């Protein structure tokens, strides 16, 4: 049963919490002896942390990663006895937010180690995670810093990380030599921190196989139904479907044009459906069927799906509206009020992302606030 708001919405999302739970369980199984955590940063990759967190907890997840301490504080009441790790770590001034919400800081640098140790001296024992950069050069102590810390005789007994972690730069590209290099460097670190659980794999890392699993895996995108490995079939269930309503259907004669910049040019008499979604809804301008300089590397724009058929986007995506060419559907089949699927069951989110020169992660996290959201759980 759909809500009246959903049935009348200009654009809407259906978010399948049973598929989300199945995807997490599947990643947990693929993680073998390791446990799978779940990554809930950026409002659970755009799908809504208030709904995603309890669903993943019910599926069995007990370890959750978010980016900021603010995200962690918002998450805490939803999953009271889960472990919540904060990727951005602790800074002077936000220590209390960690303690008050029982959040585990990830120590990413010598500076953050000093902040954490200072907070610890007032507080006594408190868990943390040590993040070591094994080659991505983004965040984390260097391998040398981590090894020195492990051997430091002055290291206080109160400093006992509950996890040592690192992050893979090329897990979406299995044959990339970076993967094995990072694995070898991470092994040096885990050997030095013998007995402390370790975590290396994001979604792509889980698919790299058992050597990469260690004790805890950190799948994100796969749980949300997106592609984790380039060029491999995606076996995850789609979690999010996006649809937008056709506001008007019009005929443009051969030789006519449409949208800003007269960017769509028609070489036959055409029927064009004007659909209520635009770049303000995260339907990026780079998905345009034509007329955007930035996307000239991509041969064609995104497709929509309507009455059993793909329909191409034409012309530029605008702030609130997009145009789809429905000429190839039977005359009279397409009406104002119909919904066009932007991605979901029939069109993979990653196919749409590719058409816009981006990735499913970015499409999901830019969905915006205008969609009417309906959460379903057919488990």
Just list the catalytic residues: 41, 260
Nearest CA to 131 out of 117, 147, 120, 142 is that of 142
- Least separation, in Å, of the C-beta of 182 and ligand PLP? 13
Using CB under 6 A, pick the residue from 39, 97, 143, 183 that binds ligand PLP: 39
Only one of the segments 200-208, 300-308, 314-322, 352-360 lies at the binding site for ligand PLP (rule: CB under 6 A); that segment is 200-208
Binds ligand PLP (CB under 6 A): choice among 48, 72, 105, 220: 220
Site string for ligand PLP, 2-21 (x = CB under 6 A): --------------------
Which region among 114-122, 153-161, 214-222, 299-307 touches ligand PLP (by CB under 6 A)? 214-222
The residue (of 163 and 246) whose beta carbon lies closer to ligand PLP is: 163
Residue 218 interacting with ligand PLP (CB under 6 A): yes
Among 122-130, 216-224, 280-288, 338-346, the segment contacting ligand PLP (CB under 6 A):
216-224
Which residue number is nearest to ligand PLP in terms of Cβ? 220
For ligand PLP, give the closer residue by CB, 10 or 203: 203
Among 46, 161, 219, 278, binds ligand PLP (CB under 6 A): 219
Of the two residues 205 and 344, which places its CB atom closer to ligand PLP in the complex?
A: 205
Cβ proximity of 284 and 318 under 8 Å: no
Q: Between residues 12 and 41, which has the closer beta carbon with respect to ligand PLP?
A: 41
Q: Which of residues 151-190 bind ligand PLP (CB under 6 A)?
A: 167
Q: Is 141 in the site for ligand PLP (CB under 6 A)?
A: no
Q: 272 forms bridges with which residues in the sheet?
A: 250, 325
For the bound state, the minimum distance from the C-beta of residue 128 to ligand PLP, rounded and expressed in Å, comes to: 15
* Of 237, 263, 264, 259, the residue nearest 378 (C-alpha): 237
Q: Is 138 annotated as a binding residue?
A: yes
Check residue 258 for interaction with ligand PLP (CB under 6 A).
no
Part in contact with ligand PLP (CB under 6 A); list of ranges 17-25, 96-104, 212-220, 230-238 = 212-220
- 134 lies in the site for ligand PLP, by CB under 6 A: no
Residue linked to tokens 């902040």: 115
> Is 354 a known ligand-binding residue?
no
User: Which window, 213-221, 277-285, 307-315, 327-335, contacts ligand PLP (CB under 6 A)?
Assistant: 213-221
Does residue 216 touch ligand PLP according to CB under 6 A?
Answer: no
Residue nearer to ligand PLP on the CB measure, 219 or 278: 219
221 binds ligand PLP (CB under 6 A): yes
Nearer to ligand PLP, 219 or 282 (CB): 219
Which residues have CB under 8 Å from 332's CB, separation 6+? Answer: none
116, burial (CB in 10 Å: exposed 0-12, middle 13-18, buried 19+) = buried
In the list 87, 113, 272, 314, the residue contacting ligand PLP (rule: CB under 6 A) is 87
- Output the 3-class SS for the chain: CCCHHHHHCCEEEEEEHHHHHHHHHHHHHHCCCCEECEECHHHHHCCCHHHHHHHHHHHCCCEEEECCHHHHHHHHHHCCCCEEEECCCCCCCCHHHHHHHCEEEEECCHHHHHHHHHHHHHHCCCCCEEEEECCCCCCCEEHHHHHHHHHCCCCCCCCCCCEEECCCCCCCCCCCHHHHHHHHHHHHHHHHCCCCCEECCCHHHHHCCHHHCCCEECCCCCCCCCCCCCCCCCCCCCCEEEEEEEEEEEEECCCCEECHHHCEECCCCEEEEEECCCHHHCCCHHHCCCCCHHHCCCCCCCEEEECCEEEEECCCCCCCCEEEECCCCCCCCCCCCCEEEEECCCCCHHHHHHHCCCCHHHHHHCCCCCCEEEEECCC
**Closest separation in Å from C-beta 42 to ligand PLP:** 8
- Is residue 149 a contact point for ligand PLP (CB under 6 A)? no
Residue list, annotated binding site for substrate: 138, 319
Contact set with ligand PLP (CB under 6 A)? 39, 41, 87, 167, 202-204, 218-221
């Amino acid at each position: 049963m759909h809500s009246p708001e959903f049935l009348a919405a200009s654009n809407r999302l259906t978010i399948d919490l049973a598929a989300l739970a199945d995807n997490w369980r599947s990643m947990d199984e693929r993680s073998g002896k390791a446990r799978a955590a779940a990554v809930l940063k950026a409002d659970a990759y755009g799908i809504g942390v208030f709904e995603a967190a309890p669903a993943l907890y019910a599926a069995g997840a007990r370890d959750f990663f978010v980016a900021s301490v603010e995200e962690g504080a918002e998450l805490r009441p939803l999953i009271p006895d889960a472990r919540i790790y904060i990727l951005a770590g602790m800074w002077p001034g936000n220590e209390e937010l960690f303690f008050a919400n029982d959040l585990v800081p990830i120590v990413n640098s010598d500076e953050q180690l000093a902040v954490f140790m200072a907070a610890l001296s007032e507080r006594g024992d408190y868990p943390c995670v040590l993040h070591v950069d094994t080659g991505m050069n983004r965040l984390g102590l260097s391998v040398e810093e981590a090894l020195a810390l492990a051997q430091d005789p002055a290291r206080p007994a109160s400093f006992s990380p509950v996890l040592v972690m690192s992050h893979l730069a090329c897990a979406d590209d299995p044959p990339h030599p970076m993967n094995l290099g990072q694995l070898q460097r991470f092994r040096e670190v885990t050997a030095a921190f013998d007995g402390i659980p370790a975590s290396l794999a994001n979604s792509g890392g889980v698919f790299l196989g058992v050597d990469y699993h260690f004790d805890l895996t950190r799948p994100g995108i796969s749980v949300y139904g997106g592609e984790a490995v380039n060029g491999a079939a995606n076996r995850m269930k789609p979690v999010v479907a996006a649809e937008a309503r056709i506001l008007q259907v019009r005929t443009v004669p051969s030789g006519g044009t449409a949208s800003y910049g007269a960017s769509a040019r028609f070489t036959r008499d055409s029927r064009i459906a004007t659909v209520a979604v635009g770049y303000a809804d995260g339907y990026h301008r780079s998905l345009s069927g034509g007329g955007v300089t930035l996307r000239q590397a991509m041969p064609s724009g995104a497709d929509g799906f309507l009455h059993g058929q793909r329909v191409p986007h034409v012309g530029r995506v605008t702030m609130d509206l997009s145009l789809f060419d429905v000429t190839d559907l039977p005359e009279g089949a397409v009406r104002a009020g119909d919904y066009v699927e932007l991605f979901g069951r029939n069109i993979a989110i990653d196919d749409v992302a590719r058409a816009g020169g981006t990735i499913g992660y970015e499409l999901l996290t830019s969905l915006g606030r205008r969609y009417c959201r309906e959460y379903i759980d057919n488990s």
